[in-house]
Amino acid sequence: MDDGFLSDVTRWAGLRVCLGGRSWKAQSGPGVWTGAGGGRMLPGRRNVYVLLDILCVSVASLPFIIMTLVNSPYKRGFYCDDESIRYPYREDTITHGLMAGVTISCTVIIITSGEMYMVFSKRLYSRSECNNYVAALYKVVGTFLFGASVSQSLTDLAKYMVGRPRPNFLAVCNPEWTSVNCSGYVTDFVCRGSPANVTESRLSFYSGHSSFGMYCMLFLSLYVQARLCGKWARLLRPTVQFFLLSFALYVGYTRVSDYKHHWSDVLVGLLQGALVAALTVRYVSDFFKVRPPQQTSKDPLESKPSLQLCESDQNHFGYLGGS
């Protein structure tokens, strides 16, 4: 090969050569060899991506966090003859603790077992330097938390900005009727009930139980649809999905029967949770992404790369090389 050509090439800071059909770059300074399509992610870049994911989830949670800390909903008035807010107070059938326990338990069990099945059956792999299972679990959990943050933030924005009274508002507020002028729309009144309960009774629109429950259960249902793809799961898959969605609907029904929400609050909550779950799975996750088959290691003699210059690496004479 012509020595002048080689001297021209080696003067570049980076030497690009085609190794085994792939484009690789050897940097003049200390660094790591990275393939242009199959290499592992550099540790520094991976840390930046993780920090960016955490930042995005935190930003999506900001409305929910701020509204909860301020805890000051819009104070609506009422009409004395409004029968929709005269229902008695009842305890929750599905408490906040029970709701959190069921949704978190289902999420942990389904996602951890689903990713374990996919990774150890060689259906799912990652180019990350860390364990394949940990990398796969990180992606799914991160996607779930991002969607949950968006759903809860949208719910709390509506709750605190609209301030719709719950069906049991008058029973919780227990206003001093002697000082209430019922000739029109009542805005000047004093509640004798617990301030915390009165504040909570102004957060009817829309149902947080319904939106969060539907988000979690539809997200998990779509996850099951993507992961349980074997023939053996032909009936198991829809059975699991049926129970997940049934729980979400049951939660919504109890919010109406417990006089905690109007039926329209529950309907909007279910629709919002379903919409956020569908959009998260469609545009954020890679559940239904068609993955190429995992590359298997070949015999060293068969995979030994041949050294040839790329067409883009011609010298200044326009020749690819000479002998």
Per the domain annotation, does 220 fall within a domain?
yes
CA distance 22 to 182: 80
Residue 4 lies in a domain: no
Nearest of 172, 183, 318, 184 to residue 259 by alpha carbon: 172
- Asked if residue 305 is part of any domain, the answer here is no
pLDDT digits (tens, 9 = 90+) for 269-312: 999 999 999 999 999 999 988 766 555 555 444 444 444 444 44
Task: Concatenate the DSSP letters of all residues of 202-239 into one string.
Answer: T--SS-HHHHHHHHHHHHHHHHHHHH--SGGGTTHHHH
Average pLDDT over residues 254-268: 98
CA pair distance 268, 256, nearest whole angstrom = 13
Task: Write the CA distances from 86 to 74, 79, 93, 159, 261, integer angstroms.
Answer: 20, 11, 20, 20, 12
Residue 44 gets which letter from DSSP?
H
Percent of the chain with pLDDT over 90: 66
* pLDDT tens per residue, range 198-234: 999 999 999 999 999 999 999 999 999 999 988 889 9
> How many domains does the structure of the chain reveal?
1
293 closest CA partner among 124, 114, 136: 124
Q: Are 50 and 135 in contact (CB under 8 A)?
A: no
If you average pLDDT over residues 253-258, what whole number do you get?
98
What is the pLDDT, as a whole number, of residue 42? Answer: 61
Which pLDDT score is estimated for 21?
Answer: 40
26 assigned to some structural domain:
no
Nearest to 173 by CA among 156, 189, 160: 189
What's the pLDDT tens digit per position in 51-66? Answer: 999 999 999 999 999 9
Cβ 64 vs Cβ 152: under 8 Å: yes
Model confidence at 45, in pLDDT bands (50, 70, 90)? Answer: confident
**Is 146 a domain residue?**
yes
316 found inside a domain: no
149-180 b/e with 16+ CB inside 10 Å = b?
Answer: bbbbbbbbebbbebbbbbbbbbbbbebeeeee
* Chain mean pLDDT for the chain: 83
CA-based nearest residue to 222, from 232, 212, 214? 214
Q: For 55-96, how does the pLDDT look when each residue is reduced to its tens digit (9 = 90+)?
A: 999 999 999 999 999 999 999 999 999 999 999 999 999 999
Q: Name the residue range of residue 213's domain.
A: 58-283
The residues carrying an active-site annotation are 209, 261
Does residue 34 sit within a domain?
A: no
Please give the Cα distance from 98 to 134 (Å, whole number): 28
Neighbouring CB atoms inside 10 A of 184's CB total: 9
76-113: b or e for each residue (b if 16 or more CB lie within 10 Å)? bebebeeeebebebeeeebeeeebeebbeebbeebbee
Determine, yes or no, domain membership for 310: no
For residue 181, what are the contacts with CB-CB under 8 A and spacing of at least 6? Answer: 188
